[in-house]
Amino acid sequence: MMILGRCFNSIMAAAMVLVVATSASAQTNVRAWSAAGQVFVVWRVDATAPLTYDVYRSSAPVTSTAQATLAGRVFEPEWTGARLKLVSGSATWRIPAAGGGTYQLAANEGLFVYTPRAGASEYFAVVKNGITAISTTNRTAAPVAVVYDPVNAPVTCHLQLSGTTARDYPFRTYAMWVDGRDDPSDERPDFPVLANAGKNGAPHVFTVYEPQGGLPLGPYPATVCLHGGGDLGSHWSWNPESFHYANTGAVPVGGITVAMDDRIYFAVNGVVNPDRPTYWFGWHTALDPVNNTPPGNNALVVPYTMRRVMWTIDWLQTRSPYAIDPDRTSIMGNSMGGVGTLLLSRWRPDRFSAATSNVPVIYTPDPGQRLSGTEQQNLPTTEIGPDGQPIRVNTFFDYNQRLSPTQRDFPLTRIYKGRCDESDAFWSGDVITLFNAMTASRWGTHFYWDNRDHTASDWTTDNPTTPCPDIGQWVFPVRTERPSPPSQARFRASQSFPGFFNDDQNPALPGRQPSLGNGSVSDGDPWGTWCGYFDWDVDTIFDTPTGWACTVFLVGQSMVSVDNFPGTTSTTSVTIRKPRQFRPAAGTSIAWTLRDDRTEAILQSGTTTAEAEGLIAITGLTIPKDPQRVRLEVRTASSARPGDLNADGFIDIDDLYAIHATLVDLDGDGVASWSDKDLLERFIRRYELEDMTAGRR
């Protein structure tokens, strides 16, 4: 674990411990109070830890658990804050106090957090697992005034620790406690159901990392980071100076990175599993954390973890201290986190500007103590797919399948795979099948491969025990900047983009080049990309009901040498993905041209037909390497060029005069405003400074 630097400013040391005057104490010091939409139950733990502490509630001072309602159970890693202690070994939970301020738990105190559904006056009791007796020694001395006010006192996240790492990256670690219910749809207005009843009140943490030198003026971009499995996978593994994910380039520059955490605690044969994630997915509704058994064939699976991540993103974007730009929120992950990236970006594609998945497992993961059933069971989930039917588990883990019932397209997605991967995500014919299938589906996914192994910290060194030289060429000797947070910040969740597919970088050779091979490490090119060298100008995209236009090119002038295309041109095809306005009816005749972006000379042209859901596909394009760029213009056959407001065949200063006179929606946001005028002017004047510098004007 990374050691905190000299500037670490533990809130624990500075927090004021308040005495809660409204809650009396019993001999075991069981106390409870309402604050911030939840009830916080605190007690003094026993010297010998039980398997769980069980928390009950009742309207009267009962004497047996049989007379009360079980609120929830917590394991030792939960009541002590094991995932919080990854940041600081002496950390304890920090919670809101009843009368304002904060309460810092002592090292010998436990915590359970209950989310109410109505106002009430209730006693809370804490017993060891297996004990049924309740008395004044293990319950609150007086009833607690339970407050339910989702509007004025919504459930929120709570700051636990803040500080600065050794290399001066400020950070803040937060916690939230989930609401678990038997009915996954029985949600509060302010808080969804994030667990089944057996895991009610479970804590989860996440850490926000800020740029060196502090936050920029908002709104600024955010990258959500999902860790892999194993004991090193955690929210703290994404520390910007940690060795574990350093090779991913996930450093906050110009915005923040948000490292989520995925752990669920349950017991098997009386032993708590300290290293059990959910694959960023969820579990079945009947999960018993004390006596966990695999789900039956009639079980229902809920993507609780995906819900939690999305609720946390919502909180960060709307109620946190951070001025996050919702339109520039991207997601990335490694291994299991790469799986989570492909789950969330397909489930809520409208919420993410870009997604980067490193070395994901490419089939339904089937670890021991299965939480969502086996591949053979393929259990139904609560989520409804585009066909109006419940999505089954295997469909979630088939990355070529659409999940959203309303969003046709995925965000810009990059997938990196390693040919020397020694894990369950190993290079095989399944990888080739997936890449080919996603290419055939024309999602616009960028595929990358090299000789990396599975562990991110090992991508720059060779392990002589592996059967191939396991150094990732996209990482060493020069690391690509394409998946980095600053690079992903260029894109917008609400903006359309060219979805490249069928990239062939050497049409003179048979088959698509470079070659993936047949799944054997000894076959195909050792490293390369399909579509990963393509780029586009995000600042001059036109998106109207009758046309779409975008300037595209192959990367050729990057300061990072590995990102530059090694040739001069590549042949490809394009679909228009995430269009705001240009979604013509199926069967509509479409005309397209590919022009030299500087001279406007027509290089290629043709016609096509709009497909189902307004999908447009243009095939056989030849794209040059930057600094040469081309402008792809697509329009309904009877319409003028996108941006040609006076329909004279040119996009020039006359069109700028026209939009000054009458504003027109060019960017597709549904509003004709001065930003559309700025967009048109930006396009018309795009070479003006360069020409003046070169003496051409």
Length of the chain: 697
For residues 416 and 357, is the Cβ–Cβ distance under 8 A?
yes
pLDDT at residue 82, rounded to an integer: 97
- Same domain (yes/no): 326, 460: yes
pLDDT at 367 over 70: no
CATH number of the domain within which 558 lies: 2.60.40
- Residue numbers of the domain that contains 290: 202-495
pLDDT on residue 465: 79
| Number of structural domains found in the chain | 4
Residue 6 lies in a domain: no
**Computed from CA positions of residues 324, 330, 332, 338, in that sequence, does the dihedral angle turn out positive or negative?**
positive
Asked if residue 484 is part of any domain, the answer here is: yes
Examine the domain organization and report whether 307 and 356 are in the same domain.
yes
Shared domain check, 285 and 428: yes
Say whether both 547 and 401 belong to one domain.
no
Single out the residue in 642, 658, 678 at which a domain terminates. 642
Does residue 79 sit in the same domain as residue 113? Answer: yes
- 628 and 666 belong to one structural domain: no
- 667 shares its domain with 624: no
Tell me the average pLDDT across 350-363. Answer: 94
pLDDT tens for each residue of 126-175: 999 999 999 999 999 999 999 999 999 999 999 999 999 999 999 999 99
Clarify whether residues 220 and 346 are in a common domain: yes
- pTM score, two decimals? 0.94
CB 110 within 8 A of CB 138: no
Phi, psi of 132 (to 5 degrees): -115, -15
Give the span between the Cα atoms of 321 and 182, in whole angstroms: 33
- pLDDT tens profile 35-57: 999 999 999 999 899 999 999 99
Same domain, 573 and 668: no
Q: How far, in whole angstroms, is CA 261 from its chain's centroid?
A: 11
170 in a structural domain:
no
Identify the band that residue 86 occupies on the pLDDT scale cut at 50, 70 and 90: very high
pLDDT reported for residue 9: 42
For residue 524, tell me if it sits in a domain: no
Domain membership flag for residue 152: no
pLDDT-based confidence at 99, cuts 50/70/90?
Answer: confident
The predicted model gives 459-469 an average pLDDT of 86
Q: For residue 686, how many C-alpha atoms fall within 13 Å in the half-sphere facing its CB? A: 19
Domain boundary among 466, 495, 524: 495
Which pLDDT value is given to residue 616? 98
Are both 299 and 353 inside the same structural domain?
yes
Please tell me the least confidently modeled range out of 90-104, 299-313, 504-518, 629-643: 504-518
pLDDT of residue 508: 87
Stretch 536-540: mean pLDDT = 97
Q: Does one domain contain both 229 and 129? A: no
pLDDT tens sequence across 552-573: 999 999 999 999 999 999 999 9
Q: What share of the chain is helix, strand, coil (3-state, %, to 5)?
A: 15, 30, 55
* 509 part of a folded domain: no
| 275 band by pLDDT with thresholds 50, 70 and 90 | confident
Residue 184: inside a domain? no
Determine, yes or no, domain membership for 346: yes
3-state SS of 111-124?
EEEECCCCCEEEEE
Question: Can you give the pLDDT at residue 12?
Answer: 36
Task: Name the DSSP letter for residue 205.
Answer: E
**Is there a single domain that holds both residue 625 and residue 648?**
no
List pLDDT tens digits, range 505-533: 998 888 889 999 999 888 999 999 999 99
Q: Is the pLDDT of residue 360 over 90?
A: yes
For residue 362, the model assigns a pLDDT of 82
- What does the pLDDT read at residue 695? 60
Task: Give pLDDT tens digits for 612-640.
Answer: 999 999 999 999 999 999 999 999 999 99
Q: What is the CATH number of the domain that holds 317?
A: 3.40.50.1820
